[in-house]
A and B are shown apart, each in its own frame.
Chain A
Amino acid sequence: MNDNRSAMEADPEINPDVLKSRFGRDIARDFDLDDPRFNEQFDETLNFMVRKCPVVHSQVGTGYYLVNTQDEVRRIAQDWRTFSSAKGYQPNRPEGLPYLMPEESDPPIHTKWRHKLNPHMSPKTVAAYEQPIRDDVNALIDTFIGKGECEFISEFGALLPGWAFFKNILGVPVDDLPMLVEGVEEGTFGPPEERAGHFARVFEYLDTHLKWRQTQPRRGDLIDTIQDGVTYEDGTEAPWEHKVSILVDLTFGGIATTTFVMASAIHHLANNPDVRQRLIDDPSLIENAIEEYTRFFPPVVALGRTCTRDVEVAGTEMKEGDFVMLTYAAASRDPRHMDEPDKIDITREGIPHSTFGVGPHRCIGSNLARIELITTLEEWLKRIPDFSVKPGTEPRHVTGFLRSIRELQLVWPT
């Protein structure tokens, strides 16, 4: 144990009893991502950990670490040789869940796939989807604007990301979206023993879609690129399961995350008329506001790696095979890298956040997500400039390694 670790152990704020009374458990030595108290005290926990505990341990299942500071998260995320993604991104991985490409792979396999997939998701490519996405934002708003109220998640937030990805890129019918959203949500937040079953349905659906596309003329789109596959270093062709898993990974990323940033931004604006007015008066601030909301409302709380050898992280000795989570959500509010990280400041410049991940696995959908978020705020504020949370209601959050909002009731004058 080096100085860093002993300093942490000696800190009175990190005393087990003090932590238990403040957070309901000793979060420095037995953290639990699925603890309801983490969901309730989300901001407080992250702010505490990033300042006080570069590394915390969890005893849940076979145990895992959480790494919380921006510098350590970056170092680990970039060092894929020591911290491998190939054994999965979640701790205590459900049995029977097939591995997802490209997320649960390392270079050189990972690099091969990313190089094929990247051009379909680059800033230049997705810029062409801006207008169709903007039209969809308006089509969704049309369905409820006259009512003077909506439940934002089910009527907008859970739909737009799926529409944007399915219509423009994947080409699967949007009517099948609710089934896939449910599969992904339950596969993430449902009872752990049922999660693999929910994911299996999503696999099955996309497997069928990929098979059907084999019978169709080529479109030169993302699906054709996936069909074409890649040749791995050892000369073998990427197997069918890898191709299906890419579709699953993309669908998972495409629908399970953006909703949360969108809903959180709208919720913040509902409660802060002054910020809202600023964006209405000067819409050119929206792009930067979205960057700040993305920093502050991270849908991906933490994702994991497996140590390929014994290694020390901020004074903690980790052993080969240990599972370590990168707390992207905490790293994005590191006071060592920004002023007043616990405040939302829509004019904060050059925001160095890790919400889209760091290292070779950087979110492939980040450019698409940004367009969805920016067009949503632009159109929403034009059409519904004055809105608030419905009196007597409050949004409900759920948190595990992802964070999501289940309900957000809004009202506005008609």
Chain B
Amino acid sequence: MRVRIDGENCSGHGRCAKYAPNVFRLDDDGYNADRGNEIDVPAGEEDKALLGIKACPERAISIVDA
């Protein structure tokens, strides 16, 4: 699974990393460290990633390749 984190709309709610700490990392500001980029979700972490994506109030994470 591959996801994209929107560079402008991520506003640092930190929900993604709370639900899927092995997928999403936060930077020192508390925003998604990979915003503006695509990342691969490690195998086995898909369900957690989906929860993080659902809980993001900005809808900032989209699935590029399921």
Contacts and interface: CB of A to CB of B under 8 A. Distances in A.
Contact of A122 (B11, B19, B26, B55): B26
B22 interface: no
Given A122-B29, A123-B30, A352-B55, 8 more contacts: A78-B58, A118-B28, A119-B28, A122-B12, A349-B51, A350-B53, A353-B57, A358-B11
17 contacts: A74-B58, A78-B8, A114-B29, A115-B29, A118-B29, A118-B30, A118-B31, A119-B28, A119-B29, A349-B51, A350-B53, A356-B57, A358-B58, A359-B9, A362-B13, A362-B57, A366-B13
B54 A122 contact: no
Interface in A308-354: 349-354
A367 interface: yes
B32 to A, nearest CB: 12
A218 interface: no
Interface string B21-41: 000001011110000000000
Contacts, number: 64
A367 B58 CA distance: 16
A360 interface: yes
Contacts of A349: 51, 54
Contacts of B51: 349-350
Interface in A106-130: 114-115, 118-119, 121-124
The 10 lowest CB-CB distance pairs between A and B, nearest first, are: A122-B30, A350-B54, A118-B29, A362-B11, A350-B51, A350-B55, A119-B28, A123-B14, A358-B57, A123-B30
Chain B interface size, as a band, is 20 to 34
Contacts of B30: 118-119, 121-124, 367
Interface residues of A, number: 24
A362 B59 CA distance: 13
Given A118-B12, A362-B13, A124 B26 contact: yes
Nearest to A121: B30
A283 to B, nearest CB: 17
A350 B19 contact: yes
A350 B11 CA distance: 17
Nearest to A361: B11
Contacts of A351: 55
A74 B13 CA distance: 14
A21 B66 CA distance: 51
Given A350-B19, A350-B52, A350-B54, A359 B29 contact: no
B17 to A, nearest CB: 8
